A and B are shown apart, each in its own frame.
Chain A
Amino acid sequence: EVQLLESGGDLVQPGGSLRLSCAGSGFIFSSSDMGWVRQAPGKGLEWVSAVSAGGGAKYYADSVKGRFAISRDNSKNTLYLQIHGLRADDTAVYYCAKTSRDSYGYMQYWGQGTLVTVSS
């Protein structure tokens, strides 16, 4: 059974940093493209970032480019999202997802999400 477990969400002050983690199991993590999607409270879904299976290709939403960094450690079956310069509008539930081989946009499996709150 495919499982994705996010962690690292917290209450952080504006300008702060955070690293989110997503541990994968039940599939060959090193062969899977992965991504992050977020959802602000009461709002719609926003695609954030994606990374290829080997980690060589990385993609970002315009709203996070330069502040967020996606990475992965295939030896630990873990995906990361490093966030710097947190702003109030980064407050959201962050989901990691396993994408299909056909497209980064076809996210077949999702974690339960981790909440990031940016507030002073």
Chain B
Amino acid sequence: AQKVTQAQTEISVVEKEDVTLDCVYETRDTTYYLFWYKQPPSGELVFLIRRNSFDEQNEISGRYSWNFQKSTSSFNFTITASQVVDSAVYFCALSEDAGNNRKLIWGLGTSLAVNP
């Protein structure tokens, strides 16, 4: 069965600290996709990144970076030099590539508070 675990419920850091959000997934499929979404206080979820199971290269986008390791079934998200605007709930999600399947399995989210 598919499952996404975000063990960290809440994280609080001081501005400019680096912070890593953990995501562990379970799936029996060899072809799957992993995602991170951000939900700021305004409420709308915002897509951050998609990774397929055949691409284990790390991704960097500005202060954001993602580390995908199939050996540990993890897809961790690091924010470097955090800022107050990074305060949000971050969700990791998984979907299996099965034809028309577009169902995302969501983690429960990690609430990040970046304090000035």
Query: Does B bind A?
Result: no
A-contacting residues of B (Cβ < 8 Å)?
Answer: none
